[in-house]
Amino acid sequence: MDYIDIISKKYHGNILLKAPYEDEKDKNIAEELYSILCISNGILETMCLSNRDENIVIGWILYSYEMMMEWTAFYTANYGIKGTVFSDDGAGSPFIMNLDGTITCFNAIDNESTKMAETLLDFFQL
């Protein structure tokens, strides 16, 4: 599955890829996420402002491996999540790939999860 192509299409090509992740895989990270990170260690969304010649970064589409591990540890320790935090909604609510492969968005204020998609592929095709 070419997740990079799917993400690029979803964001109309307004993405910035990073250098590939080349270290060992944590046993808790899903293979789908790891396969993307091995191509680009995080993916940023960009946009072009009319008064600039180059695109500016506006947020993370997919966190880097290090950010995934950091945010997963935080939400596991503080909220008991079971899965991998891989991004957020831009307003502070993380997207989590659960152990069963489903994707949820966690609202820490209400301590509630909302199902977003059945799979990572579905999530990026929404």
- Of the pLDDT bands very low, low, confident and very high (cuts 50, 70, 90), residue 58 is confident
Q: What is the mean pLDDT of the chain?
A: 92
The reported pTM is: 0.91
The DSSP line for 21-62 is P-SPPPTTS-HHHHHHHTT-SSEEEEE--TT-SS-EEEEEEE
| Residues contacting 59, CB < 8 A, separation 6+ | 44, 45, 90
Average pLDDT over residues 40-50: 89
